[in-house]
């Protein structure tokens, strides 16, 4: 034990499996790293770099995974420390646990980048950590992955991530609440499509439905909001966060901002007080990253969540799905490109040949209900249907009996609308429910096998892990 009007649609998510808070932290840290050293050309970055906090990490104190030459792995931490300016977001709390924890992998082999989210509520076997400063350290035990930060600081969190994943971590970047908010304001806000009105007092967020530009305060609330959107699960929140991240990355890396020294300077200068890096993450190394990232197509930046499911001992916690998780980690550690399996043309498998749907998806309002034990599945499927052009009316769980097969229910006169939804699914039946109005209802049952064009759950993990690109994440109404 330790020592102690929904006419909006989003170009949304095909998020892999499930995940917890990806958050705006990825956007904060990644975009800062990507464009930061661009300022060296203007002789200004050294001034800004001097304002960034640095922390010494003794990586020689544990056995480390082998590094692949040229590949770069950065541990990104979205800090939930709530002192100083951050205390307003939930009160002052002693200690610090990452709100978000992920690995950004930049590959020289395929001119791409992969961001792997490690769910913060993952229950894992953690190694021991020695005391570090005012941190007490911890004995080897089974616990939540993000608790390592509280027991042994960044050094302990770094060790835990390396030893659990087998991925050599080169550097870390940590950002807090205030930094994210100010960064969004520095780029003039981020345009998002909000499908339904949002009222979430816990996240200090109230938004009308529709296309709108979120300022820093609104964006922070949007990233933290859980109970005011979707099915209320932390697992569905990642879909919205990834959409926001894609929109933010595209804006930051647009010609307007990147071509203006003053814009870049303002962008980074607004958040340097909220960023911490390891003391080996020098200007020269950041410059190397910036040079690498300039060659990366935005369509080749991918977001992946470690395959996971509800923990058998606690449905509110996460267990990594094996061997899928280890195979993913091995691919990252070896700098192997992760590609999405796409069926060959004409390969329909056992699916019956169907007539083309007669109703455009933009005219179909669909509610997605999750009748399985897979937490967050309704949000994931709903976001995937949004991406295909459907209007998502809501997500949740069935209130009555669950059908034996995944079923699309429809009200009077809406059969063709239901057929249009069913045509997107690998397994589904269509049935009438006279109590329904103009919104069709998809009830996901135990036989769920995904949407057409997506790999089956029984496929190899490197084929079955879907990767969402920044381009796919761009929001639209």
CATH number at residue 297: 3.40.630.190
Please tell me whether residues 102 and 195 are part of one structural domain.
yes
The encoded tokens of residue 390 equal: 């459907």
Please tell me whether residues 301 and 440 are part of one structural domain.
no
Distance CA 470, CA 477 (A): 17
Number of separate domains in the chain: 2
The encoded tokens of residue 215 equal: 């300022």
For residue 304, the cross-strand partners are 116
pLDDT at 260: 62
Residues in the chain, total: 477
At which residue do the structure tokens 């006419």 appear?
Answer: 7
pLDDT at 294: 61
Distance CA 228, CA 237 (A): 10
pLDDT at 175: 79
The encoded tokens of residue 261 equal: 């020294």
pLDDT at 171: 95
CB 124 within 8 A of CB 142: yes
pLDDT at 462: 42
CB 471 within 8 A of CB 299: yes
Please tell me whether residues 259 and 315 are part of one structural domain.
yes
DSSP β-ladder status, 198-200 and 141-144: unpaired
Distance CA 377, CA 332 (A): 25
Please tell me whether residues 228 and 265 are part of one structural domain.
yes
| Residue 355 maps to a domain | no
CA 32 to chain centre: 18
Domain that holds residue 413: 361-454
CATH no. for residue 379? 3.30.70.2390
pLDDT at 470: 40
Please tell me whether residues 123 and 270 are part of one structural domain.
yes
Distance CA 295, CA 288 (A): 12
| Residue 7 maps to a domain | no
- Tens place of pLDDT per residue across the chain (477 aa): 444 333 343 322 222 222 223 333 444 444 444 444 444 444 555 666 677 889 999 999 999 999 998 889 999 988 755 334 444 444 433 456 677 788 989 887 766 778 888 988 899 999 999 999 899 999 999 999 999 999 999 999 999 999 999 999 999 988 776 777 887 888 889 888 887 888 888 888 899 988 899 999 998 888 878 766 766 555 566 667 767 776 777 777 665 665 565 666 666 666 677 788 999 988 778 767 766 666 665 556 777 888 888 888 887 888 998 888 998 999 999 998 775 544 344 343 333 334 457 889 999 999 999 988 787 888 889 888 998 899 998 888 888 788 888 999 999 999 999 999 999 998 899 999 888 889 999 999 988 988 887 544 433 444 444 444 444 444 345
Distance CA 378, CA 392 (A): 11
Eight-state DSSP code of residue 168: P
Please tell me whether residues 312 and 175 are part of one structural domain.
yes
CA 372 to chain centre: 22
Query: What are the helix (H) ranges across 334-464?
Result: 377-387, 415-422, 461-464
Task: Please tell me the pTM assigned to this model.
Answer: 0.62
Distance CA 454, CA 341 (A): 7
Please tell me whether residues 366 and 321 are part of one structural domain.
no
Strands (E), 197-336: 198-200, 205-207, 210-214, 275-278, 301-305, 308-311, 314-320
> Rounded to whole angstroms, what are the CA distances from 118 to 75, 340, 387, 391?
10, 20, 24, 30
Please tell me whether residues 375 and 256 are part of one structural domain.
no
Please tell me whether residues 222 and 175 are part of one structural domain.
yes
| Residue 211 maps to a domain | yes
At which residue do the structure tokens 């997605």 appear?
Answer: 368
| Residue 465 maps to a domain | no
| Residue 464 maps to a domain | no
Please tell me whether residues 431 and 315 are part of one structural domain.
no
| Residue 9 maps to a domain | no
The CA dihedral of 118, 387, 453, 440, to the nearest 10 degrees, is: 110
| Residue 386 maps to a domain | yes
| Residue 283 maps to a domain | yes
Please tell me whether residues 266 and 403 are part of one structural domain.
no
> Rounded to whole angstroms, what are the CA distances from 59 to 159, 275, 280?
8, 20, 11
Distance CA 370, CA 398 (A): 7
CB 160 within 8 A of CB 65: no
Please tell me whether residues 322 and 393 are part of one structural domain.
no
């Amino acid at each position: 034990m330790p020592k102690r009007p929904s006419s909006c649609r989003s170009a949304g998510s095909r998020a892999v499996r499930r995940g917890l808070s990806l958050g705006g932290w990825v956007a904060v840290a990644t975009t800062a790293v990507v464009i930061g050293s661009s300022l060296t050309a203007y002789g200004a970055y050294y001034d800004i770099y001097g304002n960034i906090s640095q922390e010494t990490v003794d990586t020689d104190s544990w056995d480390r995974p082998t590094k692949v030459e040229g590949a770069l792995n950065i541990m990104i931490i979205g800090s939930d420390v709530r002192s100083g300016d951050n205390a307003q977001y939930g009160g002052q709390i002693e200690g610090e646990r990452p709100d978000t924890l992920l690995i950004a992998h930049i590959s020289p082999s395929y001119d791409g980048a992969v961001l792997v989210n490690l769910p913060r509520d993952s229950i894992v076997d953690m190694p021991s950590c020695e005391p570090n400063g005012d941190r007490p350290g911890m004995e080897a035990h089974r616990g939540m992955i993000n608790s390592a930060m509280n027991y042994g600081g960044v050094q302990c969190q770094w060790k835990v991530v390396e030893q659990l994943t087998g991925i050599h971590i080169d550097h870390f970047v940590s950002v807090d609440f205030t930094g994210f908010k100010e960064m969004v304001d520095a780029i003039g806000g981020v345009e998002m499509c909000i499908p339904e009105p949002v009222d979430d007092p816990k996240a200090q967020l109230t938004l009308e439905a529709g296309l709108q530009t979120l300022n820093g305060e609104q964006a922070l609330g949007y990233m933290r909001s859980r109970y005011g959107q979707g099915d209320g699960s932390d697992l569905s929140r990642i879909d919205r966060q990834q959409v926001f991240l894609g929109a933010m990355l595209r804006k930051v890396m647009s010609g307007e901002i990147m071509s203006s020294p003053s814009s870049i300077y303002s962008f980074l200068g607004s958040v340097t007080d909220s960023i911490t890096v390891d003391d080996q993450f020098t200007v020269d190394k950041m410059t190397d990253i910036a040079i690498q990232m300039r060659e990366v197509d935005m369509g080749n930046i991918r977001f992946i969540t470690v395959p996971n499911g509800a923990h058998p001992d606690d449905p509110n916690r996460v267990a990594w799905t094996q061997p899928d998780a280890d195979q993913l980690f091995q691919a990252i550690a070896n700098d192997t490109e992760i590609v999405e399996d796409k069926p060959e043309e004409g390969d329909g498998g056992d699916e019956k040949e169907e007539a083309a749907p007669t109703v455009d998806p933009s005219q179909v309002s669909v509610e997605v209900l999750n009748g399985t034990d897979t937490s967050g599945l309704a949000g994931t499927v709903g976001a995937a249907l949004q991406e295909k052009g459907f209007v998502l009316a809501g997500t949740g769980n069935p209130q009555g009996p669950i059908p034996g097969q995944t079923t699309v229910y429809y009200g009077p006169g809406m059969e063709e609308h239901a057929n249009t939804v069913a045509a997107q699914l690998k397994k589904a039946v269509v049935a009438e429910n006279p109590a329904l109005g103009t919104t069709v209802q998809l009830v996901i049952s135990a036989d769920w096998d995904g949407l057409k064009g997506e790999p089956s759950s029984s496929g190899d993990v490197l084929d079955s892990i879907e990767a969402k690109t920044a381009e796919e994440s761009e929001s639209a109404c």
